[in-house]
Structure 1
Amino acid sequence: MASTITIMQDKLARLVGTPKSPLVVDVRTEEDFSADPRILPGALRRGQADVAVWARDLTGRTAVVVCQKGGKLSHGVAAWLCHEGIPAEVLEGGHEGWAAAGLPLVSAAKLPPRDKQGRTVWVTRARPKVDRIACPWLIRRFIDPFAVFLFVQPSEVEAVGERFGAAPFDVENVFWSHRSERCTFDTMVDEFGLDMPPLRRLATLVRGTDTGRPNLAPEAPGLLAASLGLSRMYTDDLEQLEAGLLLYDAFYRLCRDATDETHNWPGRKGGA
């Protein structure tokens, strides 16, 4: 197999949060992790000693391996993943370099307990519209790419959460919910420490759409129209979620890359 190569921090930062982002695998020792219990957005914590066991979970994906400084642990794990047929790169400078560059890190203490397969599990009300699609998008793209979402009757959300070890969200009187005039998406951005300008812009857009304040963002009526349309297209909440991920991928890229771009007709003539 091909030898491992490194990926620079700025390149990985541009990929994080997009559908083409590689799986980020944090293989720091327990001692290093205890000294800084934060992880890169979307990162999976795995031990280098049993890479041969968990490597099969990455089949069909690409990976970026992160250790403390980008040295022997990450290079060894990446080489093993390549041996298993999984394209893998090493983050230049490791966790320390990423943190020193001021790039976003998520407090692992904020994550709900994981199930036996290592996934976070979340539960909310059925028939989602805005926040209950936006929040799963945020979790899948920036917190846990393998997260499980359960959609149940509103009266059963908290009981299902207790019985199945799922974190309830976007219902009253739970941690992951609206706070004052801010919506659940705002809460997750704040609590997970994802202080990134594109996500802040997207949070304003979601808030304006979800709380009936379209004056907060000019795109809010468009997001509401698309959200209501999706809810009519799908009777299966999980199918709607999968379609909604693409919708929020598009709005995230708008907030990150295209806020100043406009469109008009007729186009500029050649040579003008």
Structure 2
Amino acid sequence: MKWITRERPKTDRIACPWLIRRFIDPEAEIIYVPAADVLATAQEIGAISFDAPGATYTHQPNPAGGEWCTFETLIDAYGLTDPALTTMAHIVHAADVSTDVDTHPFGAALAALGAAGPFVEADDQVLLGRASYIYDALYTHCGQRLRAETES
């Protein structure tokens, strides 16, 4: 399936493709286009839109209050219950929702990495590939930390 979002990805637009390919659609084709073209291009090519105004999956109200980032929206929509993903979602949320950056100690660091990515790599697809390592490592860290907590 084709998935489409805004070009020049930062935190949520790197985290979501990582999540999509790892847990939702391993063969996903991720497409980045100018923000103004996301919805029209999605309709034209039959893609699923995400992390853009009016997209199929984007920020939405959290039933418990506040707002979910797109990463959290996808986890909920696809019924993903992996505890490491739940922990990771708190970190991505803190990094992506500026008013909540202090809700997790890794939030500011992940936000800084996301903001810097487009300056390090001009090609969005190469940036996605390079930055996916961060999310692989973060997921592994969350899983190992949860295992250590349950073994104590």
Q: TM-score, normalised by structure 2?
A: 0.88
| Map of 2:89 onto structure 1 | 203
| Gapped regions of structure 1 (runs ≥ 5) | 1-119, 262-272
CA positional deviation for 1:215: 1.7
Cα displacement string for residues 88-120 of structure 1 (whole angstroms, at most 9, x for unaligned residues): xxxxxxxxxxxxxxxxxxxxxxxxxxxxxxxx1
- Specify the code of the residue in structure 2 equivalent to 1:233: V
Cα displacement string for residues 15-70 of structure 1 (whole angstroms, at most 9, x for unaligned residues): xxxxxxxxxxxxxxxxxxxxxxxxxxxxxxxxxxxxxxxxxxxxxxxxxxxxxxxx
| Gapped regions of structure 2 (runs ≥ 5) | 62-66
| Map of 1:218 onto structure 2 | 105
1:260 & 1:229 partners in 2: Cα distance? 31
| RMSD (Å) for aligned C-alpha atoms | 1.5
1:260 & 1:197 partners in 2: Cα distance? 10
* Percent of matched pairs sharing the same residue: 38
Cα displacement string for residues 230-270 of structure 1 (whole angstroms, at most 9, x for unaligned residues): 22110000000001111100111111113698xxxxxxxxx
Q: TM-score, normalised by structure 1?
A: 0.50
| Map of 1:188 onto structure 2 | 74
Task: Compare the two structures and name the one with the higher helix fraction.
Answer: 2
1:236-251 → structure 2 map (5 Å cutoff): 236-251=123-138
CA positional deviation for 1:223: 0.8
Q: After the TM superposition, which parts of structure 1 deviate over 6 Å for at least 4 consecutive aligned residues? A: none
Between structure 1 and structure 2, the one with the greater Rg is 1
1:209 to 1:139, Cα distance in 2 relative to 1, 3 A? same
1:6-21 → structure 2 map (5 Å cutoff): none
1:228 & 1:259 partners in 2: Cα distance? 28
